[in-house]
Amino acid sequence: MARSSSCFYMSRHLLFLYLSSQPISAQHNLSPFAKPLCLEDEMYALLQFKERYEINDDASGDPLAHPKTLSWNNSRDCCSWDGIECDENTGHVIVLDLGSSLLYGSIDNNSTLFQLAHLEKLNLSDNHFNDSRIPSRVGDLLRLTHLDFSASVFSGPVPSEIFKLTSLVYLDLSAPDTPTNLLEMKAPGLRSLVQNLTSLEVLHLGYVNISSEVPNTLANLSSLRRLNMDACDLHGEFPSAVFNLPKLRHLGVGSNKALTGRLPDFNSSSPLEELRLSGSSFSGELPSSFGILPSLSFLDVSDCNFSGSIPASFANLSNLECLDVSGNPFAAQSLSSLSWIWKKKKLATLDLRMINLYGEIPPSIGNCSRLVELSLLGNQLSGAVPSQLMNLTQLTNLYLRMNQLSGSIPSWLMNMTGLAELDLASNKFHGEVPSSISQLQNLQVLNLARNNFSGTVELDNFLKLKQLEVLHLSSNRLSCRASSVNVILPQLSVLGLASCNLSEFPAFLQKQEHMRSLDLSDNNIRGEVPPWVWNGSFDMQYLNLSRNFLTGLERYHPIKPLLMYTIDLSHNMLKGPPPEATSSILSYIVSNNSLTGPLPPWICNLSSAITLDLSSNGLTGVLPVCLGDISKSLMVLNLKGNNFHGSIPELLVRATQLTMIDMSDNQLQGNLPRSLAHCKMLEFLNFANNHIVDTFPSWLGSLPELHVLILRSNKFCGVIKRPKSSSTFRKLRILDLSSNAFLGKLPMEFFQSWNAMKSKTGNFTYMQRTLRPSLYLPFTYYGNYDFSMTVIYKGLKLYYPKISEVFTVIDLSNNLFKGEIPSVIGDLKGLQGLNLSSNFLTGHIPSSLCNLTALESLDLSRNNLSGQIPQNLTELGFLSFLNVSYNNLTGFVPRGKQFDTFSNDSFEGNSGLCGEFISRKCRGSEDKSGQPSTHQEEDSGSPIELDWKIVLMGYGSGLVIGVGIGNAFISWKHVWFEENARRRRRPSRRQTRRGKNSWLGKLFNFYRY
């Protein structure tokens, strides 16, 4: 990092000096006797300028910075001062170069700098002007040809007066890589600049927030040699004519994700040396005409949308020193097919990360003798690492992570003593980690995580690597031991020892003062967390102690560290209140512990939170009203499996990014908050197993991303009314309304609108959200937050720790639905599970169910269905669970395929059914065509005569007796369904008529509970 920063300031300063030198050098040829002295008024203007600023070592980033103004005084001619040049004819100051001068302070229009009216070149780069706005009076310096305010902490809008400096050939307002854009150039600023400053040769606006399209007139700047507009929030299509400007040598418009475009065919006369498009949305194929660019030495088109293949014409780029085509969706090709790469004698940086490469690493890789950095990360490479790699004697960074490479760590690797970063993680390497790795004395990063390494590792061995900053041994089959305390240790910034069979906290952590990321998850560490683990470093940003046996945090205090972003203490034995987090927290995960008490007040101060998971604890009390106003960025809120009670507050009015809410398995009451309709990004909503009293939330149907809706085991009631839109719940794949009091006919119109269930297509991915923040630490495994759920599937209560994007289930069981099963269910061809059991459904089983070719589980038991089982259901090749028991079905049970695997339990309770594999065999004279029996139940299909509004009048009227009857009715219904679910014997005929098929019988029996 220090190296790249130094290069940034050095290259900028040299460029400014080079473009400034020619005119000044010519003037220095005059006789020294003709040289006038500095003008007095300009000298005093410069001294007053000096007095406004203090010298601060942190004000400049350039390691070669020095305080040029420190030697300024009135005892010497100001033309001889450091950073000053004068016109040798008039004595006027024409160059003020204070780049990297450690200046700290503010600047405004009253600055005496603007008294230097004859200035031609002004460089204030790499200082700290304390978020000042660029003074508009800079427009008074009409003779300026060079203006450099880069990396000097200016903020606010770029004054339009700069666009009047029509003599400018050099303009640099950029900043080095910063998290926020401090300067702004809103429309029509860029257009005005291009129209007016037509003589520009160098234009650097990197990290200025422009937020506009790139005007086509940019292609009119025929003198342009260097153009940098990285990370300017540019959008729209980039004008392709710019690429073929006749003098353009350096072009960078990377890190503009909304910027699109296609590369043109290049001219052989183009002087292009450097092209950076990384992190933009350029697409199409890379043109073969790249091969006719004789001067091209630096090409970075990483993380774009380029497709096709890497052109073979790249072989003609004889001056290529840096090639980065990583992160593009190229067609799959073997690494050996890129044989031309290994002939590039000047190549120093090669990044082929994540471009769909396969095959083995060819031995010819050893021919690139000047390679300094090599990345083959994230492909499908296999086999062993070839020994010819040892020929790359200048290699410092080697990244082979996320492939399928195998073998042990080769002994010859220990001879590559220049290695600074070695990343072999997420492969299939095996064997022991050699102790000789300590010979790599220049190692700063060693990442061996997620392989099959085994044996015992003495951590003290790595502590000999005095420059080591990152050590990752996580997720192997290692046993790690550490004893060192009183030795000089390297100051690690990242340490990963997850799944290393640790039984205690390594003692050397006591002296780690700059740790930023610590992962000790999935070990056998017991007892309390000592304070030096989580309080030893002000820099700690990531702490993962999950899946241990921790009982508490000794003398825990949340103030230090100040910028903790991620904390994961899940799956431990923590007791007491939740550990306090600072307001900087992004991911707070303390699930599966024994935490108690109410949600603490500080939870409302987590203004930056993205993930909050306090699930599966013993927390109590009501949910605070402020919960809905925590964070605009909140994406995951998981409070399931606690003892919260009371009503649900109007949640998440500001949390427009929220994708997952799980408050299941609590004791929450009242209605669903209507503010959920504002959560337009919501994908997963689970309120199962509470005491919520409401009607079906059809108003959630407008949520465009909702995939999962689980309202099981509550007190929802009433008829599910016809949807107002034909596109309601269009992405819904999992719907569980079981064990409520919904009544009326099954919602046929809803079935017709569930478009996502009509398709069997989809990627086999999981519903999850990355835990990696936008400003993430390198070599830290943040992982993903997987959405999880519990559903009744194939007759079993199953917990899904991950939810496939293609998993599709409908469960409407244990309700009061009546009428026939609508045939339109057969349109839901992606459906894998359908449970309509324990309702009052009548009529025949629709033959259209045979269209559900992905169906694995079908439960229609405990209804009043009649007629025969459709023969075509035998065509359901994936059906592994079927239950049609306790209906009034008749005729012959179909045979063939999956039906031959179902037991008698699937069909019991249907006196008119017979078959070879069930207890009632068909007699030889019996009609096997499935004609209806003559003794159907007399009450089958009896309609619900009692008006719902009367039965459940307590939910709306407020009358005590009405509320009592309504709540008692729901309570009876839950008990009745649970009791019936436990029964495995066929009920008596009297019970069948009064207890199963008669809705009035249910209501009658309600008074018995």
The position carrying tokens 């230090």 is 560
Given a cut of 50, the residues of the chain with pLDDT beneath it are 1-10, 14, 22-34, 559, 927-1009
Asked whether 619 and 601 are in contact (CB, 8 A), the reply is no
3-state secondary structure of 918: coil
- Residue 255 counted as domain residue: no
- Phi/psi region, residue 316 (left: phi>0; alpha: psi -120 to 50; beta: rest), is alpha
- Give the DSSP letter of residue 187: T
The beta strand positions in 384-531, using DSSP E, are 397-399, 404-407, 421-423, 428-431, 445-447, 452-458, 470-472, 477-481, 494-496, 517-519, 526-529
292 burial (CB, 10 Å; 0-12 / 13-18 / 19+) is middle
- Of 995, 891, 883, nearest to 936 by C-alpha is 891
Q: Where are the alpha helices (DSSP H) in 787-900?
A: none
Identify whether the C-beta of residue 854 lies closer than 8 Å to the C-beta of residue 760. Answer: yes
User: Do 477 and 453 touch, CB atoms closer than 8 A?
Assistant: yes
Residues 6+ apart with CB under 8 A from 68: 81, 82, 83, 97, 98, 101
Distance CA 614, CA 591 (A): 5
Q: What is the pLDDT of residues 851-888, one digit of tens each?
A: 999 999 999 999 999 999 999 999 999 999 999 999 99
Alpha-carbon distance of 422 to 495, in angstroms, equals 15
pLDDT at 716: 97
Q: Quick check: is 32 in a domain? A: yes
End-to-end Cα distance, the chain: 72
Answer whether residue 78 is part of any domain.
yes
Q: Provide the domain count of the chain.
A: 2
Among residues 170, 201, 232, the one where a domain terminates is 201
Dist CA 214 CA 212 (whole Å) = 7
Neighbour count for residue 799 (Cβ, 10 Å):
8
Q: CA–CA separation, 219 vs 195, rounded Å?
A: 11
**pLDDT tens-digit map of 933-966:** 433 333 333 333 333 333 333 333 332 323 233 3
Would you say residue 542 lies in a domain? no
**Cα(995)–Cα(1001) distance, integer angstroms:** 5
* Contact yes or no for 738/814 (Cβ under 8 A): yes
**Number of DSSP helices (H) and strands (E) in the chain, helices first:** 11, 67
> Do 449 and 473 meet the contact criterion of CB atoms below 8 Å apart?
yes
- Per the listing, tokens 């200016």 go with 154
The region that residue 555 occupies, defined by phi over 0 for left and psi between -120 and 50 for alpha, beta otherwise, is left
Classify burial at 438, counting beta carbons within 10 Å of its beta carbon; exposed 0-12, middle 13-18, buried 19 or more: middle
Q: Is residue 69 part of a domain?
A: yes
Backbone angles phi, psi at 625, to 5 degrees: -60, -35
Own/partner contacts of 441-445, CB < 8 Å, gap of 24 or more, are 441/417, 441/465, 441/466, 441/467, 442/396, 442/417, 442/418, 442/467, 443/419, 443/467, 443/468, 444/420, 444/468, 444/469, 444/470, 445/420, 445/421, 445/469, 445/470, 445/779
Q: How far is CA 710 from the centre of its chain?
A: 25
Q: What value, to the nearest 5°, has the Cα angle with vertex 58 and ends 56 and 61?
A: 125
Q: Would you state the pLDDT for residue 131?
A: 94
Nearest by Cα to 301 from 275, 320, 319, 322: 275
Residue 81 is assigned to a structural domain of this protein: yes
pLDDT at 1006: 33
- Residue-wise burial string across 629-653, b where 16 or more C-beta atoms lie within 10 A, e elsewhere: bbbebbbbbbbbbbebeeebbebbe
**Secondary structure (DSSP) of 67-93:** -GGGG--TTS-GGGSTTEEE-TTT--E
Judge whether 730 lies within some domain: no
Specify if 245 maps to a domain.
no
Nearest Cα to 579, choosing from 543, 547, 610?
543
What is the rounded distance in angstroms from the CA atom of residue 874 to the CA atom of residue 870? 8
> Which pLDDT score, from 0 to 100, does residue 678 have?
87
- The half-sphere exposure of 323 on its side-chain side, counting CA atoms within 13 A, is 24
**Residue 951's pLDDT is what?**
36
Contacts of 32 (CB under 8 A, 6+ apart): none
The set of residues, in sequence order, having a beta carbon less than 8 Å from that of 942 and lying 6+ positions away, is: 997, 998, 999, 1000
Which residue segment(s) compose the domain that 997 sits in?
948-1006
Contact 14, 41 (CB under 8 A): no
- Enter the DSSP assignment of 266: P
pTM across the whole model: 0.83
Q: What is the CATH number of the domain that holds 155?
A: 3.80.10.10
Exposure pattern of 89-126 as b/e (b: 16+ CB <10 Å)?
A: eebbbbbbbbbbbbbbeebeeebbbbbbebbbbbbbbb
Which residues sit opposite 691 in a β-bridge? 669
Percent helix, strand, coil in the chain, to 5, is 25, 25, 55
Residue closest to 812 by CA, chosen among 833, 787, 789, 843:
833
